[in-house]
Amino acid sequence: MTLLDAQPEKPKGVLRRYLVLWILLAVGSGAILFILFRNYSEERAVSRFLAALQQGQYREAYELWQPGPSYTYEDFLGGWGEKGDYGKIREFEILGSRSKGSNTVIVVVRINRGQPTEILVDRKTKGLAYSVF
């Protein structure tokens, strides 16, 4: 076989040629989506809680809070009722969230255009609590 008899090399497909680029693009997109949405369900739990308060459904909000036996409904109304710390909830905004350990998410909210407030959310039960951090 001489140089002139050599078979031409078959061109590689686009997918094969750019396989590394495709893999990096997929991994990068997955990482970005994970970062953006990793606390989505916890933010949604806080949003449901505040929406129930906004609509005046205090009993439902109390159940979403998932309180311990020592935190009564009257205690809850003292903090979250119309005469509570925040007054009547007219509007709220979820500002962001961050993980604290493996089981807790801190969700930052602004209620009635006030100062940002942190609410803790348990990842497993979606129970809420005041932030101690």
What band does 2 get if pLDDT is binned at 50, 70 and 90?
Answer: low
Q: Give the total number of structural domains in the chain.
A: 1
Does 124 fall in a domain? Answer: yes
Does 18 fall in a domain? Answer: no
> Is the CB of residue 101 less than 8 Å from the CB of residue 122?
no
Does 13 fall in a domain? Answer: no
Does 68 fall in a domain? Answer: yes
Does 55 fall in a domain? Answer: yes
Domain that holds residue 90: 39-130
Per-residue pLDDT averaged across 96-105, rounded? 92
**Predicted confidence (pLDDT) per residue in 29-44, tens digit:** 999 998 888 899 999 9
Does 25 fall in a domain? Answer: no
What band does 22 get if pLDDT is binned at 50, 70 and 90?
Answer: confident
Cβ atoms within 10 Å, residue 127: 15
pTM of structure: 0.77
**Predicted confidence (pLDDT) per residue in 24-79, tens digit:** 999 999 999 988 888 999 999 999 999 999 999 999 999 999 998 999 999 999 99
3-state secondary structure the chain: CCHHHCCCCCCCCHHHHCHHHHHHHHHHHHHHHHHHHCCHHHHHHHHHHHHHHHCCCHHHHHHHHCCCCCCCHHHHHHHHCCCCCCCCCCCEEEEEEEEECCCEEEEEEEECCCCEEEEEEECCCCCEEECCC
**Residue from 76, 77, 116 nearest 93 by CA:** 116
Does 122 fall in a domain? Answer: yes
Q: pLDDT higher for 92 or 15?
A: 92
Q: What is residue 127's predicted lDDT score, i.e. its pLDDT? A: 94
CATH code of the domain containing 45? 3.10.450
Percentage of the residues of the chain whose pLDDT score is greater than 70 = 88
